[in-house]
Amino acid sequence: MTDTPFKSGFVALVGRPNAGKSTLLNAACGQRIAITSPVAQTTRKRLRAVVNTPTSQIVIVDTPGLHKPKDALGKELNRAALGELSDVDVVAMLVDATKPVGTGDEWVGAHVDKAHAPKILVLTKADIAKPDQMQAQLEAASKLAHFDDVIVTSATEGFNVDAFLALVSEKLPEGPKWFPDDMDSDATEEDLVAEFVREKVLLNCRDEVPHSVAVVCNDIVWKKDGHASVSATIFVEREGQKGIIVGKGGSMVKKIGVAARADIERLLGAKVYLELRVQVRPQWRRDQNEIRRLGYEATE
Ligand SMILES: Nc1nc2c(ncn2[C@@H]2O[C@H](COP(=O)(O)OP(=O)(O)OP(=O)(O)O)[C@@H](O)[C@H]2O)c(=O)[nH]1
Protein backbone atom coordinates (compact mmCIF):
# COMPACT_ATOMS: atom_id res chain seq x y z
CA MET A 1 0.00 0.00 0.00
CA THR A 2 1.40 3.42 -0.90
CA ASP A 3 0.85 6.53 1.19
CA THR A 4 -0.96 9.40 -0.53
CA PRO A 5 1.62 12.15 -1.00
CA PHE A 6 0.98 15.38 0.93
CA LYS A 7 0.02 18.26 -1.35
CA SER A 8 0.39 21.95 -0.62
CA GLY A 9 0.23 25.24 -2.44
CA PHE A 10 -1.65 28.36 -3.36
CA VAL A 11 -4.93 28.88 -5.20
CA ALA A 12 -6.00 32.35 -6.31
CA LEU A 13 -9.68 33.24 -6.49
CA VAL A 14 -10.15 35.74 -9.30
CA GLY A 15 -13.18 37.18 -10.99
CA ARG A 16 -15.24 40.29 -11.51
CA PRO A 17 -16.36 42.33 -8.50
CA ASN A 18 -19.26 40.64 -6.70
CA ALA A 19 -18.59 37.21 -8.23
CA GLY A 20 -18.56 35.69 -4.73
CA LYS A 21 -14.83 35.28 -4.07
CA SER A 22 -14.83 36.35 -0.43
CA THR A 23 -17.94 34.32 0.34
CA LEU A 24 -16.34 31.17 -1.09
CA LEU A 25 -13.15 31.82 0.86
CA ASN A 26 -15.13 32.15 4.10
CA ALA A 27 -17.14 29.01 3.36
CA ALA A 28 -13.95 27.10 2.58
CA CYS A 29 -12.40 28.16 5.89
CA GLY A 30 -15.55 27.63 7.89
CA GLN A 31 -15.20 31.09 9.39
CA ARG A 32 -15.43 34.72 8.51
CA ILE A 33 -12.04 35.94 7.40
CA ALA A 34 -12.94 38.07 4.42
CA ILE A 35 -15.67 40.67 4.58
CA THR A 36 -18.46 40.47 2.03
CA SER A 37 -21.21 42.80 0.90
CA PRO A 38 -23.54 43.30 -2.04
CA VAL A 39 -21.42 46.34 -2.99
CA ALA A 40 -18.97 45.54 -5.78
CA GLN A 41 -15.29 46.01 -4.93
CA THR A 42 -15.65 45.11 -1.30
CA THR A 43 -12.29 43.36 -1.23
CA ARG A 44 -9.35 45.74 -1.20
CA LYS A 45 -6.56 43.85 0.43
CA ARG A 46 -5.14 40.59 -0.65
CA LEU A 47 -5.95 38.02 1.96
CA ARG A 48 -4.62 34.55 2.38
CA ALA A 49 -6.50 31.89 4.27
CA VAL A 50 -5.16 28.47 5.14
CA VAL A 51 -7.29 25.34 4.87
CA ASN A 52 -5.84 22.11 6.24
CA THR A 53 -7.15 18.73 5.15
CA PRO A 54 -5.66 15.36 6.17
CA THR A 55 -3.79 15.16 2.86
CA SER A 56 -3.20 18.77 1.88
CA GLN A 57 -2.69 22.35 2.92
CA ILE A 58 -4.43 24.83 0.64
CA VAL A 59 -3.59 28.50 0.88
CA ILE A 60 -6.47 30.42 -0.64
CA VAL A 61 -5.65 33.87 -1.96
CA ASP A 62 -8.64 36.19 -2.21
CA THR A 63 -8.10 39.01 -4.68
CA PRO A 64 -9.90 42.28 -5.36
CA GLY A 65 -12.46 41.98 -8.15
CA LEU A 66 -11.01 42.74 -11.57
CA HIS A 67 -12.68 45.71 -13.23
CA LYS A 68 -12.05 48.64 -15.51
CA PRO A 69 -10.12 51.03 -13.26
CA LYS A 70 -11.51 54.54 -12.77
CA ASP A 71 -8.91 55.87 -10.37
CA ALA A 72 -5.56 55.09 -8.78
CA LEU A 73 -7.21 52.77 -6.26
CA GLY A 74 -8.83 50.76 -9.07
CA LYS A 75 -5.48 50.43 -10.86
CA GLU A 76 -3.80 49.27 -7.68
CA LEU A 77 -6.52 46.69 -7.04
CA ASN A 78 -6.18 45.27 -10.55
CA ARG A 79 -2.41 45.16 -10.25
CA ALA A 80 -2.72 43.22 -6.99
CA ALA A 81 -5.19 40.73 -8.45
CA LEU A 82 -3.36 40.17 -11.74
CA GLY A 83 -0.03 39.84 -9.94
CA GLU A 84 -1.36 36.74 -8.17
CA LEU A 85 -1.98 34.89 -11.41
CA SER A 86 1.67 34.28 -12.11
CA ASP A 87 2.44 33.34 -8.53
CA VAL A 88 0.03 30.56 -7.63
CA ASP A 89 -0.27 26.82 -8.23
CA VAL A 90 -3.94 26.87 -9.21
CA VAL A 91 -6.16 29.64 -10.57
CA ALA A 92 -9.90 29.54 -9.84
CA MET A 93 -11.94 31.92 -11.94
CA LEU A 94 -15.30 32.67 -10.38
CA VAL A 95 -18.25 33.62 -12.54
CA ASP A 96 -21.64 34.60 -11.10
CA ALA A 97 -24.15 32.13 -12.54
CA THR A 98 -26.95 34.67 -12.30
CA LYS A 99 -25.36 37.40 -14.42
CA PRO A 100 -24.85 37.03 -18.17
CA VAL A 101 -21.22 36.65 -19.19
CA GLY A 102 -20.05 40.01 -20.48
CA THR A 103 -17.00 41.86 -21.70
CA GLY A 104 -15.74 42.19 -18.15
CA ASP A 105 -15.61 38.40 -17.78
CA GLU A 106 -13.92 38.12 -21.18
CA TRP A 107 -11.25 40.54 -20.02
CA VAL A 108 -10.66 38.55 -16.82
CA GLY A 109 -10.71 35.30 -18.81
CA ALA A 110 -8.02 36.56 -21.17
CA HIS A 111 -5.75 37.28 -18.19
CA VAL A 112 -6.54 33.93 -16.58
CA ASP A 113 -5.71 32.16 -19.82
CA LYS A 114 -2.18 33.54 -19.73
CA ALA A 115 -1.48 31.93 -16.34
CA HIS A 116 0.59 28.75 -16.51
CA ALA A 117 -1.14 27.13 -13.52
CA PRO A 118 -4.08 24.70 -13.88
CA LYS A 119 -7.36 26.57 -14.14
CA ILE A 120 -10.74 25.84 -12.60
CA LEU A 121 -13.94 27.56 -13.66
CA VAL A 122 -16.21 28.07 -10.65
CA LEU A 123 -19.81 29.04 -11.30
CA THR A 124 -21.10 30.67 -8.12
CA LYS A 125 -24.51 31.34 -6.56
CA ALA A 126 -26.07 28.08 -7.80
CA ASP A 127 -28.79 28.46 -5.17
CA ILE A 128 -30.33 31.45 -6.93
CA ALA A 129 -29.59 30.57 -10.57
CA LYS A 130 -32.38 29.04 -12.64
CA PRO A 131 -31.51 25.74 -14.39
CA ASP A 132 -31.63 27.22 -17.93
CA GLN A 133 -29.61 30.21 -16.76
CA MET A 134 -27.02 27.82 -15.35
CA GLN A 135 -26.80 25.85 -18.57
CA ALA A 136 -26.33 28.96 -20.70
CA GLN A 137 -23.78 30.29 -18.25
CA LEU A 138 -21.82 27.04 -18.26
CA GLU A 139 -21.55 27.16 -22.02
CA ALA A 140 -20.61 30.84 -22.21
CA ALA A 141 -18.18 30.82 -19.27
CA SER A 142 -16.38 27.67 -20.45
CA LYS A 143 -15.19 29.64 -23.47
CA LEU A 144 -13.56 32.38 -21.39
CA ALA A 145 -10.29 30.48 -20.96
CA HIS A 146 -8.80 27.00 -21.32
CA PHE A 147 -10.12 25.50 -18.12
CA ASP A 148 -9.01 22.12 -16.78
CA ASP A 149 -12.16 21.68 -14.71
CA VAL A 150 -15.54 23.24 -14.10
CA ILE A 151 -17.53 23.21 -10.86
CA VAL A 152 -20.82 24.72 -9.78
CA THR A 153 -21.01 26.00 -6.20
CA SER A 154 -23.17 27.83 -3.71
CA ALA A 155 -20.98 29.19 -0.96
CA THR A 156 -23.93 30.46 1.07
CA GLU A 157 -25.52 26.98 1.07
CA GLY A 158 -22.20 25.16 1.43
CA PHE A 159 -22.91 23.34 -1.83
CA ASN A 160 -19.81 21.85 -3.48
CA VAL A 161 -17.42 23.85 -1.29
CA ASP A 162 -15.65 20.67 -0.14
CA ALA A 163 -15.70 19.38 -3.71
CA PHE A 164 -14.03 22.60 -4.82
CA LEU A 165 -11.32 22.13 -2.18
CA ALA A 166 -10.83 18.51 -3.28
CA LEU A 167 -10.46 19.64 -6.88
CA VAL A 168 -7.86 22.21 -5.87
CA SER A 169 -5.96 19.68 -3.70
CA GLU A 170 -5.76 17.31 -6.64
CA LYS A 171 -4.00 19.95 -8.71
CA LEU A 172 -1.53 21.12 -6.06
CA PRO A 173 2.07 19.97 -6.20
CA GLU A 174 3.47 17.64 -3.58
CA GLY A 175 4.98 19.69 -0.80
CA PRO A 176 5.23 20.42 2.91
CA LYS A 177 2.93 22.54 5.05
CA TRP A 178 3.82 26.17 4.52
CA PHE A 179 1.94 27.42 7.55
CA PRO A 180 1.50 26.05 11.08
CA ASP A 181 -1.74 24.17 11.81
CA ASP A 182 -3.12 26.91 14.04
CA MET A 183 -2.69 29.70 11.51
CA ASP A 184 -5.83 30.33 9.51
CA SER A 185 -5.05 33.65 7.84
CA ASP A 186 -2.22 36.11 7.25
CA ALA A 187 -4.36 39.09 8.18
CA THR A 188 -3.44 40.86 11.43
CA GLU A 189 -6.06 41.58 14.08
CA GLU A 190 -5.82 45.25 13.11
CA ASP A 191 -6.51 44.39 9.44
CA LEU A 192 -9.57 42.38 10.40
CA VAL A 193 -10.91 45.06 12.76
CA ALA A 194 -10.61 47.67 9.99
CA GLU A 195 -12.32 45.37 7.51
CA PHE A 196 -15.18 44.55 9.90
CA VAL A 197 -15.83 48.26 10.40
CA ARG A 198 -15.68 48.94 6.65
CA GLU A 199 -18.10 46.10 6.01
CA LYS A 200 -20.64 47.63 8.40
CA VAL A 201 -20.28 51.01 6.70
CA LEU A 202 -20.90 49.37 3.31
CA LEU A 203 -23.92 47.48 4.63
CA ASN A 204 -25.51 50.47 6.35
CA CYS A 205 -24.68 53.35 4.00
CA ARG A 206 -24.80 51.38 0.79
CA ASP A 207 -26.12 53.91 -1.69
CA GLU A 208 -24.54 57.02 -0.31
CA VAL A 209 -20.84 56.32 0.24
CA PRO A 210 -19.93 53.12 -1.56
CA HIS A 211 -16.31 53.34 -2.56
CA SER A 212 -15.07 56.46 -0.82
CA VAL A 213 -14.62 54.75 2.52
CA ALA A 214 -11.35 53.58 3.99
CA VAL A 215 -10.87 52.34 7.54
CA VAL A 216 -7.73 52.13 9.62
CA CYS A 217 -7.53 50.45 13.02
CA ASN A 218 -5.35 52.77 15.10
CA ASP A 219 -4.77 50.46 18.04
CA ILE A 220 -5.92 47.56 20.11
CA VAL A 221 -5.02 48.04 23.76
CA TRP A 222 -5.55 45.22 26.25
CA LYS A 223 -6.75 46.44 29.63
CA LYS A 224 -6.01 44.87 33.02
CA ASP A 225 -9.60 43.68 33.45
CA GLY A 226 -9.28 41.63 30.23
CA HIS A 227 -11.25 43.80 27.85
CA ALA A 228 -9.78 45.33 24.71
CA SER A 229 -9.98 49.00 23.91
CA VAL A 230 -10.07 49.36 20.13
CA SER A 231 -9.94 52.57 18.13
CA ALA A 232 -10.48 52.95 14.41
CA THR A 233 -10.86 55.84 11.99
CA ILE A 234 -13.26 55.88 9.06
CA PHE A 235 -11.97 58.05 6.21
CA VAL A 236 -14.26 59.56 3.59
CA GLU A 237 -13.65 61.99 0.76
CA ARG A 238 -16.24 64.69 1.45
CA GLU A 239 -17.90 66.50 4.36
CA GLY A 240 -21.31 65.34 3.11
CA GLN A 241 -20.21 61.71 3.36
CA LYS A 242 -18.95 62.33 6.87
CA GLY A 243 -22.39 63.64 7.77
CA ILE A 244 -24.03 60.49 6.42
CA ILE A 245 -21.72 58.17 8.33
CA VAL A 246 -22.04 60.11 11.58
CA GLY A 247 -25.83 60.31 11.14
CA LYS A 248 -28.35 62.34 13.08
CA GLY A 249 -27.00 62.89 16.56
CA GLY A 250 -24.33 60.24 15.87
CA SER A 251 -26.97 57.55 15.31
CA MET A 252 -25.38 55.98 12.21
CA VAL A 253 -21.84 55.71 13.54
CA LYS A 254 -23.32 54.22 16.70
CA LYS A 255 -25.17 51.59 14.65
CA ILE A 256 -21.99 50.80 12.69
CA GLY A 257 -20.06 50.54 15.96
CA VAL A 258 -22.55 48.17 17.61
CA ALA A 259 -22.52 45.83 14.61
CA ALA A 260 -18.74 45.92 14.17
CA ARG A 261 -18.14 45.42 17.89
CA ALA A 262 -19.97 42.08 17.82
CA ASP A 263 -17.59 40.80 15.12
CA ILE A 264 -14.53 42.23 16.87
CA GLU A 265 -15.53 40.62 20.18
CA ARG A 266 -15.79 37.27 18.41
CA LEU A 267 -12.41 37.84 16.79
CA LEU A 268 -10.61 38.85 19.97
CA GLY A 269 -12.57 36.58 22.28
CA ALA A 270 -13.05 39.41 24.76
CA LYS A 271 -15.30 42.31 25.62
CA VAL A 272 -14.46 45.29 23.45
CA TYR A 273 -14.82 49.04 23.83
CA LEU A 274 -14.82 50.43 20.32
CA GLU A 275 -14.09 54.04 19.54
CA LEU A 276 -14.85 55.15 15.98
CA ARG A 277 -13.79 58.47 14.47
CA VAL A 278 -14.81 59.80 11.08
CA GLN A 279 -12.37 61.97 9.12
CA VAL A 280 -12.40 63.64 5.72
CA ARG A 281 -9.44 62.95 3.37
CA PRO A 282 -10.35 64.63 0.09
CA GLN A 283 -9.74 62.56 -3.05
CA TRP A 284 -7.81 59.80 -1.30
CA ARG A 285 -8.63 57.30 -4.04
CA ARG A 286 -6.75 59.36 -6.62
CA ASP A 287 -3.62 59.68 -4.56
CA GLN A 288 -1.16 56.79 -4.70
CA ASN A 289 0.54 57.82 -1.45
CA GLU A 290 -2.75 58.04 0.37
CA ILE A 291 -3.76 54.60 -0.92
CA ARG A 292 -0.49 53.23 0.46
CA ARG A 293 -0.94 55.02 3.77
CA LEU A 294 -4.37 53.51 4.15
CA GLY A 295 -2.85 50.09 3.52
CA TYR A 296 -4.54 49.13 0.26
CA GLU A 297 -1.51 48.74 -1.96
CA ALA A 298 -0.34 45.45 -3.40
CA THR A 299 2.30 44.07 -1.09
CA GLU A 300 5.67 42.58 -2.08
N1 LIG B 1 -27.30 33.59 -3.04
C2 LIG B 1 -25.96 33.62 -3.00
N3 LIG B 1 -25.31 34.79 -2.84
C4 LIG B 1 -23.97 34.78 -2.81
C5 LIG B 1 -23.21 33.58 -2.95
N6 LIG B 1 -21.91 33.90 -2.92
C7 LIG B 1 -21.84 35.25 -2.75
N8 LIG B 1 -23.07 35.78 -2.69
C9 LIG B 1 -23.42 37.20 -2.49
O10 LIG B 1 -22.86 38.00 -3.52
C11 LIG B 1 -22.40 39.25 -3.01
C12 LIG B 1 -20.93 39.44 -3.34
O13 LIG B 1 -20.17 38.43 -2.69
P14 LIG B 1 -18.62 38.63 -2.31
O15 LIG B 1 -18.16 37.32 -1.79
O16 LIG B 1 -18.42 39.85 -1.47
O17 LIG B 1 -18.04 38.90 -3.75
P18 LIG B 1 -16.52 39.24 -4.17
O19 LIG B 1 -16.28 38.53 -5.45
O20 LIG B 1 -15.58 38.95 -3.05
O21 LIG B 1 -16.66 40.79 -4.41
P22 LIG B 1 -15.52 41.93 -4.50
O23 LIG B 1 -15.02 42.11 -3.12
O24 LIG B 1 -16.32 43.08 -5.00
O25 LIG B 1 -14.49 41.50 -5.46
C26 LIG B 1 -22.69 39.21 -1.50
O27 LIG B 1 -23.90 39.88 -1.26
C28 LIG B 1 -22.81 37.73 -1.20
O29 LIG B 1 -23.66 37.46 -0.10
C30 LIG B 1 -23.94 32.34 -3.10
O31 LIG B 1 -23.39 31.24 -3.21
N32 LIG B 1 -25.30 32.42 -3.13
Q: Give tens-digit pLDDT for 258-298.
A: 999 998 998 888 899 999 999 998 877 777 777 776 666 54
Q: Whose CA is nearest to atom 6 of ligand 1?
A: 20
- Does the pLDDT of residue 245 top 70, yes or no? yes
Beta strands per DSSP E along 196-268: 214-222, 228-236
Q: Per-residue pLDDT tens for 167-215? A: 999 999 998 887 877 777 777 888 889 989 988 998 888 666 667 788 9
Atom of ligand 1 nearest to the CA of 64: 25
Question: What value of ipTM does the predicted structure carry?
Answer: 0.97
Give Cα separations from 63 to 175, 203, 212, 274 (angstroms).
Answer: 24, 20, 19, 28
What's the pLDDT at 163? 95
Backbone angles phi and psi of 98, in degrees to 5: -95, -5
- Alpha carbons 30 and 28: distance in angstroms, whole number: 6
Mutate to test the pocket of ligand 1, among 14, 36, 127, 159 (most ligand atoms within 8 A of CB): 36
Backbone angles phi and psi of 124, in degrees to 5: -105, 170
Q: Whose CA is nearest to atom 8 of ligand 1?
A: 20
CA distance between the termini of the chain: 43
Q: Per-residue pLDDT tens for 45-91? A: 567 888 988 889 998 988 776 766 667 777 767 777 777 788 789 99
- Alpha carbons 11 and 30: distance in angstroms, whole number: 17
Domain ranges, ordered by start, for the chain: 7-171, 189-293
Q: Which of 193, 176, 146 has its CA nearest to residue 59?
A: 176
Give percent of the chain above pLDDT 90: 45
Q: Class for domain 189-293, per CATH?
A: alpha beta
Q: Which CATH superfamily is domain 7-171 in?
A: P-loop containing nucleotide triphosphate hydrolases (3.40.50.300)
